[in-house]
Structure 1
């Protein structure tokens, strides 16, 4: 009798484990397919070109950061506008903590939405979310694909020029860039709306960018202030991260491409019409105006 009870208990245990495994397999998430990524990219490309807010259908929403980048890759491939460089988002310790990540997120920059300052941009509503005040660089040399990570010194040596910049940030989602979640944020161009840059800064290699005080103004009212070290300790750390991050995604930083390295100040929410200025201490200022 005792042996029968033990055998019965073992059978029940095996049955339960078997059922648990069946549930686990049954509930396992299906792979994110190319057709799903293409459909999400199609909707986000249309929303960006038409300056419209949308909500992605549940069946094509990316649910992981990797899936978000898969959609972003499809946007780069299908948008029909030249890729001119990259943006880096979530580069401060505070923003990373809030987002629950240990590294930034990258997004593409396209020629149609990049402008030298001074610049007046129309039709910001409704997808314009706000502004970030940043250091930007333009590459002089390509950093070819390799297994060994690039060092900060190697990346710095490949840079051709440094610029003061404002990134108008945006969202194509009705629920906004935060509530949409990180995977959808990555898919949606990394939150980019546009890119405005000033002229090259002379002798930038000898400037301690971490110690430069950056102040943001909107309609001549101060909206934020911080040091360059708010961007991963040094904006050069940010572009170095990007160089190595892109290698993992099958890209390379190319000669002539722009990189805007993340918010020293921002994102600061704002709606047009508005006049925006970033002041970078003795290095000067950069401006952009938005009409409604």
Structure 2
């Protein structure tokens, strides 16, 4: 029922509990024909805003196939990009989704709604899975190159730090059930909407590792987290995604946002709900869901 509130928010994520997805048997790479079928199935569902079903023969736990499919789906859709989010950056989310590690998803420009926001219903198909995150907006591009980026280089390219809410969704009807074949990762790592708070330009001296965020639903506190939850430090996470893109011949662009991973795990909400993420001296993020 949608009025039941637990650690993971409203009990509307489907019948499978976090961490209980049944692993599919296949671990081999998708063939070219299978890859095209996966990309077509998910891209068609996302474009049409409807649920998708992935047949058993297309389900695999081959990680590179999953990442290749995710990028190909976004390329097929061609939606203007506002940047990236990092999915499963925290161990808590990795365990819940059965993921071997973090992976990015692309933020669509249409999904960015600055705080205080009314987040429109048309952005979502099945879910509204909210995550409290530290985000950065890039002042300078980090284009692809052969050598890895250091944290100092990445920090020098940042224009501002933002408290943020990143809101996930997926075409798959059972969020955690689909984790058996990396469903969330396949489907853009759930990236659906992004609510940035006010910019903080003087951020490099801040202790973001222990910076706290408190998440409230409709005026009632629900859970808290700290910046260390996502890869130990938001800048570490940002550097990770810059290098993930670099390894694939891609880069970060000036003006793009990067949301660095959840400090408060998953929290599912419903239409009509209002979430406030309080980042203390860094400000609050306010989102009401239509």
TM-score interval w.r.t. the shorter chain?
0.7 to 0.9
8 Å CA contact 2:86–2:241 kept in 1: the answer is yes
Task: Please state whether the residue corresponding to 1:181 is helix, strand or coil.
Answer: helix
Q: 1:162 to 1:57 in 2, by over 3 A?
A: same
What does residue range 195-214 of structure 1 map to in structure 2 within 5 Å?
195-214=194-213
8 Å CA contact 1:85–1:110 kept in 2: the answer is yes
Distance 1:149 1:98 in 2: 30
The two structures have a TM-score, normalised by structure 2, of: 0.83
Unaligned 5+ runs, structure 2:
1-25
Q: 1:177 to 1:111 in 2, by over 3 A?
A: farther
* Equivalence for 2:166: 167
Question: Cα deviation per residue 1:33-82 (whole Å; 9 max; x = unaligned)?
Answer: 33432332232223223332221123433431211111112112111311
How far apart are 1:280 and its partner, in Å? 0.1
Unaligned 5+ runs, structure 1:
1-27
Distance 2:186 2:158 in 1: 27
Question: Cα deviation per residue 1:64-117 (whole Å; 9 max; x = unaligned)?
Answer: 121111111211211131122111011123333555555311111111212112
How far apart are 1:146 and its partner, in Å? 2.4
Distance 1:31 1:263 in 2: 29
8 Å CA contact 1:117–1:287 kept in 2: the answer is yes
Structure 2 counterpart of 1:67, from 65, 68, 78: 65
Distance 1:61 1:249 in 2: 23
Total equivalences in the alignment: 264
Task: Please state whether the residue corresponding to 2:182 is helix, strand or coil.
Answer: helix
The two structures have a TM-score, normalised by structure 1, of: 0.83
8 Å CA contact 1:223–1:268 kept in 2: the answer is no
* Equivalence for 1:50: 48
Question: What is the CA RMSD across the aligned residues, in angstroms?
Answer: 2.2
Question: Cα deviation per residue 1:151-199 (whole Å; 9 max; x = unaligned)?
Answer: 1111111111111110111121022145433533211010122111122
Distance 2:96 2:195 in 1: 27
* Equivalence for 1:289: 288
What does residue range 77-226 of structure 1 map to in structure 2 within 5 Å?
77-99=75-97, 101=99, 103-123=101-121, 126-181=125-180, 183-226=182-225
Asked which structure has the greater CA Rg, the reply is 1
8 Å CA contact 2:59–2:181 kept in 1: the answer is no
Q: Counting helix residues as a fraction of each chain, which structure ranks higher?
A: 1
